[in-house]
Structure 1
Amino acid sequence: MNLALWIAAGLLAVVALVGGISKTFVPKEKLERADGGGWTADASVGFVKTLGVLELLAALGLILPAVVGVAPVMVPVTALCWVLLMVGATITHVRYRDGVRIVAVTSTYLVLAVFVAWGRLGPGSFTG
């Protein structure tokens, strides 16, 4: 169970890192043309960059507290925040009719985040 939770958290951290870097550093006009990026046309630059910074923080929060042993409870808390972010992403992609593939991907990330949150709060917690 512990290995599966680490793999899921690691995968989500990579996804958050890549998404965060792209939203923070790639120009908004280029994001608009990306697959599933049509929503950025209706969002402000500040909003897109804020999401990017939140994703970068999520990448850190999913791994770093457990690795260094400082406030490991932040891992499931971050996973719960990622759940909220992915609920919003899934709804947004459905509203913008981005296609089944994009919605399936965000839904998969949502399920992985639920698994990490559940596992790290319950059977695979760092305190038990």
Structure 2
Amino acid sequence: MNIALWVVQILLALLFLAGGGMKVFQYDKTYGMLPWVRDSSKAFVTFVGYMDLLAGLGFILPELTGMLPWLTPLAALGASVILILAVALHIKRNEIKNAIPNIAFLALAIFVMIGRFY
């Protein structure tokens, strides 16, 4: 079970770090790639990017270092909130095909949250 949790944590960390990095450090590139970014303020997109970066780091660092490992399930909880809001945004914008990957990532984040709480 621990190996499965680590595999999922690394996958989610890479996804959140890549997405957050693009939103924070490559806003212009993100503006052209993600339709919802065009309808949002730069400050909001940057905020979401920083939250993604924190979630990505939270999936790996606490458990890897052994320092405050209880932060990993909390990072998974925070990522779950981000993903629920992302699904809601895509449904509101009638972008159902964009919501489907977020639902899959939400299931993985919930798996990590439950697995690391116990």
Q: Secondary structure at the match of 2:58?
A: helix
Which one has the largest radius of gyration? 1
**What is the TM-score when the length of structure 1 is the normalising length?**
0.87
Q: Supply the distance in 2 between the matched residues of 1:27 and 1:44 (Cα, whole angstroms).
A: 11
Q: Supply the distance in 2 between the matched residues of 1:27 and 1:117 (Cα, whole angstroms).
A: 30
Q: Which amino acid aligns with 2:110?
A: V
**What is the TM-score when the length of structure 2 is the normalising length?**
0.94
Contact 1:38/1:96 (<8 A) preserved: no
RMSD: 1.2
1:15 partnered with 2:12: no
1:120 partnered with 2:116: yes
- For structure 2, the 5+ residue unaligned runs are none
Identity, % of aligned pairs? Answer: 36
The corresponding residue for 2:47 is 50
The corresponding residue for 1:126 is none
The count of residues paired between Structure 1 and Structure 2 equals 118
Give runs of ≥4 in structure 1 deviating > 2 Å.
Answer: 30-33
Q: CA offsets per residue over residues 56-108 of structure 1, 9 Å max, x none?
A: 111111100111110000000000000000000011111112242x2111101
Q: Supply the distance in 2 between the matched residues of 1:84 and 1:98 (Cα, whole angstroms).
A: 19
The corresponding residue for 1:31 is 30
Higher relative contact order (CA 8 A, sep 6+): 1
Alpha-carbon offset, residue 25 of structure 1: 1.2
Q: Secondary structure at the match of 1:97?
A: coil
Matching residue within 105, 110, 113 for 1:109 = 105
1:90 partnered with 2:76: no
Contact 1:76/1:116 (<8 A) preserved: yes
Q: Which structure: greater helix fraction?
A: 2
Q: Secondary structure at the match of 1:76?
A: helix
